[in-house]
Every structure is written in C-alpha cells, then in structure tokens.
Amino acid sequence: MKTKKRNILIGIGVIVTAILVVGFVWSDDSEYFLKVYQSIDIFTRVYKEVAVNYVDEVNPELFMRAGIDGMLKTLDPYTVYIGEEDKDEIDLVTTGKYGGIGVTIGLRDGAVSILNLMEGYSAVKQGVQVGDKIIEVDGKSVSGKSLEEVRSLVRGVPGSEVKLKIEREGEPSPLEFTLMREEIRIQNVTYAGFVQPGIGYIVLERFSRTSAEDVREAIKELKAQGELKGIILDLRGNPGGLLEMAVEVTSMFVPESSLIVSTKGRKPDSERKYYSTTKPLLPSIPMAVLVDRNSASASEIVAGAIQDLDRGVIVGTRTFGKGLVQTITQLSNTASLKLTTARYYTPSGRCIQEIDYSKRLGDGSVFAVPDSIKHEFHTKQNRPVWDGGGVQPDSTVVDTVRIPFIDELYRQGMFFKFANHYASINKSIPEKIEVTPELLNSFQSFTKEKGFVYKSKEEQLLEEVHKAIQSASYSKAVQRALASLDSLMKNEKTNYFQYYHKELTTILTAELAGRLKGERARIEAELPSDKQLQVAASLLGNSKRYNAILRK
C-alpha cells in the first residue's frame, strides 16, 4: 500500500512540477497562465481520482504516461516523452557513443540476426559473423522478444561481459561466445573514397555529437590520397540529428561568417542565427549534395544552406520536409521531454517544413502545404527556391525504378540468406566477387528450395476476374481461356531470373562483397550502378553544366 501511495505521489509531483515550470515561464501573461493553471488542476484531480478510486487497480506510472502521451499526440510527432527505456537512443545521438559489442542486429525471416559488424570491436575479434542468428543472450532466450528488447540485452556498461548463443548455417549445433562490451563510437561517416579521379565521395549517415569530426577526418584522408577536384556529400537516408553538427558540417564548405540557419520560436525575441565561425576546409572546389525523400532535419539544414548560398548543386529527389527544432528538457533522473520549440529557416529565409501540425482537419488528420500558398525565395545568385516542401534538388534524378519481383526477393530475405549460404560453403574469400551465370542459376535454385513464391499484381487481378466469371456462370470456353492465360503468366514468371539478370547480378555482387569483405566492399560494389551518384560525379566533372545550374 505504501508503494502505491508513493507512486501516486510521484505522478502528482510531476504534474505539480509542470505547474511550477509553466508558472515561471508564463508569469508575464496572467490570463494565459490562469487557463493553464486551471487545466492542470483538473488534470491532477482526474489523475488522483482514477488512481485512487477506479474499480480496478491502476498502475500509476503507466496511467500518467498514457495521459502525457495523449496530450503530446495532439501536437507533432517529434514532441515526445522520453522514459528510461528510451534513454540509450538519446545518448547515442547526443554523445555518439554507447556500450556494446560492435554489431548491428535486425529481423531476417523472423529471427534476430547479425546484419553488420563494426571493425575493431569484440564481435569481430571473437569471430561473430554476419548472418548469425541470436537465440540466447546471457542464457535468456530471445524468442518472442522485440528487436529493442534484444538490443537492450546486448548493450550495457563498457567492461562488462555478455554471452551470446547463436545459430550459424553450416554448423551442426549452436555456437557460444563470451564477448566484452566496449565503448562503441558510432560510425557517422560510413564511406569515404574516390568515385572518379579527383572526385571525392563521403557518405554521412547521421548527425550525432561526433559527425563534424568524422567528416573533417574523411576530408583530410581524401586530401592525403590525392588532389581533390570535386566533392560529393551523400545525405540520402540521413534522418538528421543535432542542429549544431549540421552547422559545423556546412561550415567546412562555405565562406567564414556565412549565415547557415536561423531558428524562430513562439516569442518575438526567440530568434537565433547560426553562422560559420571557422575557415572552410574546402572553400571553392565544385560540390554536390545527394538527397532523397528520407533526408530530413539536419540533412535539410545542410542541403538548404549549400543551395541558398550557391555553394554546390543538390542532386536526387526532394527531401522529407522537417523544419522543426526540438529541445530536450530533463524532467527527472529517468525522464525527459523532447519538445518542439522552434522552426528553422535556411539562409534565404524559407522554412522547408511540409506539414503544419497546428492546422488539423475535423478528424484530427494533417495535410501538406499546398503549392498554391508556397512562397518564393531567392538564393545568393538570385535563383528561385520555395518553402513548405523540403529541399527541391537542382538536378532531379529519380533512383532506379522499383521492380516488384526484386522487392519480393528482398522482403523474403532471399539475397541475405543466399549470401549466408554462399559463405558457409566457400570458406576462402575470393580476390574478386564475380556473379557468373552459373552462380545466378544457383541463386534461382536456392530460392526454389527455400520456398520463394511471387504472385504478381496481374495474377491477383486475374484470380479476381476468374472468380467473377465463375459466379456469373460464363461458358466453359471463357473459363478455359482464362486458365490458359493464367498458365502463360506462370510460365512467364520462370523467365524473370533471366529477364532481370543485370539487376540481380548487381545486387548479388554487392551482397556477397558485403558478406565476405565488409560494409566498405558492399558500398564500392554498388557505386557503378548508383544512378544519382554517377549524375553528381558527371556534373562535377563538367564545369560548364555545373556553373549553368548555379546561374539559373
């Protein structure tokens, strides 16, 4: 009973703290504060009444969390309550480090599997391999556990031990590893190299506390390898992170004292401006930034600044459209609030936020800013750019068209499984990964053995037509014709492996290279077929076209 009362008091204490905080912030607006105070008073009374008198016992902490989550759900998806279980992910962004063994895990065919290994850490040193399936962590079965639960079991305090039991294809019985957790420094830059003579290429996957340092080191390494005549910064799929890191990264390419981004909150005096404060590492060589629909937040700050300052060309597809800034406030030893406190604006003055969460439809849904009310802004050289819909590229290059057949092979994990199978029967690593017609045939046979089934949309439509014709009592001749068409379509599918042999060869080459030689080898195997990257490299190598884009 004492524990229940203590938990209820904790819940009420959090609410009272909120009253004091709100009172402090809004003491200069008595009418507004009065409404806030009255609302919190009602909320506190409801909470206490339910927690104490509801017919069934209520978990006070979960009940409070539900109330907080319910309130925040009416705002935007980036304003969230951070409990103790979420703290590791926040630390990962803010410090760029965590305690672990140097693996990336994910679900493959329903099993928690090792998807990637980080060089130099315990897992690689002890012989853990990509494709290994985790079945136990410290003697606890992972069956039925979520990916987050397994990840939290594997991670821990640096210097502590963790025991893994894994299944590996080709091994008759499970293998056991005793691994030492280390301080893992996350890899923000996952690749740096030359894609053409003189054209450097850097892949930046996130903006954590160490991102700027990693980009700086990558540039220095490229310079040490040879003359840099152009640089490509790849922000595709980069979800963002720390605003300060976006400013630091941009500062490496733009003139000193350039305005990079400004933020404006609710109050008139809340505007802050962020300038580059250091001399750039690469002040003038041609530059391209690769973006796509999953480039968001800090990625858009960098892309928007590079575009507005006419420092380089943006290549790819439009970005996500997140122009909101979050601030993390600690509420207690184990809880924090990530709160949207401002919008950010690129140097031209535009906000690229696509969704206005303050304007909702009657059912609570939100909508994108329509083109009719978007505003035109201008870059340093007077090129037109617009707000309200992410960063539009200077050179739009749609990535490879999706092929449903290949998407289904991915979805059923066929490439990943085949790479594991190949590694299990080929113990020596070949000098060159080559996907021959024979190997492609082996892949086709492998998918058949694993029960791969692909049903095209056309087949699904034909099934519906067949059912409709049967119910309408059409003649046998019509039904035979449909059956014949169905047979022809099924036979056509057997040729898909030959028809898409180029695409399959490219994917398998990259998958096998990554499986046998590591992530860098996988990326290098994909470079020749990366259409957006090749367009960017071509632009940097053609000064006439490059300059023409920046003068539009």
Catalytic residues: 297, 308, 322
371 Cβ partners below 8 Å, 6+ apart? 389
Closest CA to 215 of 287, 304, 313, 121: 287
Dihedral of alpha carbons 235, 503, 452, 113, sign: negative
Beta strand pairing call for 111-117 and 140-141? unpaired
> Which tokens go with 34?
């009065």
The structure tokens 């990366």 sit at 530
Asked if residues 295 and 236 have their Cβ atoms less than 8 Å apart, the reply is yes
CB atoms within 10 A of CB 361: 8
Residue 370, amino acid: P
Residue 231 CA to residue 222 CA, distance in Å, equals 10
Phi, psi of 505 (to 5 degrees): -65, -45
Dihedral of alpha carbons 168, 172, 173, 177, sign: negative
The three-class DSSP label of residue 538 is: helix
**Count of residues making up the chain:** 552
Asked if residues 158 and 99 have their Cβ atoms less than 8 Å apart, the reply is yes
> Which tokens go with 416?
């990943």
Residue 49, amino acid: E
SS3 sequence of 317-349: CCCCCCCEEEEEEECCCCCEEEEEEEEEECCCC
Dihedral of alpha carbons 98, 103, 106, 110, sign: negative
Residue 287 CA to residue 423 CA, distance in Å, equals 39
Q: Containing H/E element for 81?
A: strand 80-82
Residue 384 CA to residue 377 CA, distance in Å, equals 6
Residue 490 CA to residue 503 CA, distance in Å, equals 21
Residue 295 CA to residue 179 CA, distance in Å, equals 35
CB atoms within 10 A of CB 81: 17
CA angle 248–249–254, rounded 5-degree value: 90
**Percent composition of the chain: helix, strand, coil (DSSP 3-state, to 5):** 45, 20, 35
Beta strand pairing call for 395-396 and 313-316? parallel
Phi, psi of 223 (to 5 degrees): -60, -35
Residue 162, amino acid: V
What letter would DSSP give residue 304? H
